[in-house]
Structure 1
Amino acid sequence: MITKIEHIAIVVKDMEESILFYSEVFGFQVRLRGENPNREMAFLYLGTQPDTEIELIREIEPISEYTRSGIVNHLAFTVEDIDQSIQHFESKGINFISSVPQPTLEGGRMILFNGPNDELLQLVERINA
């Protein structure tokens, strides 16, 4: 079901400072940057490992306990078919936070759930998977 680690999300206070840190200190490059009404996001990758990313998240209008999940906000896994994966994981007792997948910044779909230690986990179906 899971094909790879998709990304690790980090909640940041200052997007510009964080992008500069990860790019200048560690050599990451920005693949995608954008926002929705609640969050500004940037996806960064290493040229030597472009399939696993860091997602930087800056809250614009906090509306939930999303940022209370910790500085490292969530661990995301890539799946090929999110609907099939939801059915599979529901059969294993997983309860998803929302009833349907939500759109991603780049047009894919994602859904969140909690692990056994209340860690926030995410399944992502990329449009170019």
Structure 2
Amino acid sequence: MIKKTEHVALIVTDMDRSIEYYSAMFDFEVRARGASPKREMVFLKHKNQPGFEIELIKDLVPLGSYSEKGIVNHLAFTVDNIHEAISYYRDKGITFNSEQPNTAIDGAKTIFFNGPDHELLQLVQPNRQ
């Protein structure tokens, strides 16, 4: 039986650039880094969510083409105040895919942007009723 979400894996083209991005933007830290003959892998951890990780995968031997949006549709990060978060990340250089956040079907405020390999990322301010 499922207890929790373990990790999400993202395909990247430049491992060092992706590590720097997720570290500088969102304070993730490298937990483990290694390689096999076919791929390089990194697990990123975050102090505020010890039970969840991001796995970055770089194919060292091309395995075919991936969708432009990647295998995972998007990765979402929870924020307390979406307008403060948008301002903070704009100041760090993020360009959002819309000027203002949208309202999801459950009342959450959301906004999308792209990571260094055009992976689709999202900020979410949950609707806490």
Q: Which runs of 4+ in 1 moved over 4 A?
A: 69-72
What CA distance in whole angstroms lies between the structure 2 residues aligned with 1:46 and 1:21? 14
Q: 1:71 to 1:7 in 2, by over 3 A?
A: farther
Question: Among the aligned pairs, what percent are the same residue?
Answer: 47
Q: Deviations over 1:27-75 (max 9, x none)?
A: 0011111011111000001101011010000010124x5x636654359
TM (norm. structure 2) is 0.50
TM (norm. structure 1) is 0.50
- In structure 2, the gaps of 5 or more residues are 74-129
Q: Which protein is bigger by CA-based radius of gyration? A: 2
What CA distance in whole angstroms lies between the structure 1 residues aligned with 2:2 and 2:16? 32
Q: 1:5 to 1:72 in 2, by over 3 A?
A: farther
Q: Give the total of aligned pairs.
A: 73
Q: 1:72 to 1:51 in 2, by over 3 A?
A: farther
Higher strand share: 1
> For residue 68 of structure 1, what is the aligned residue in structure 2?
66
> For residue 9 of structure 1, what is the aligned residue in structure 2?
9
> For residue 40 of structure 2, what is the aligned residue in structure 1?
40
1:48 is matched by which residue type in structure 2?
N
For 1:1-129, list aligned pairs within 5 A.
1-63=1-63, 68=66, 71-73=69-71
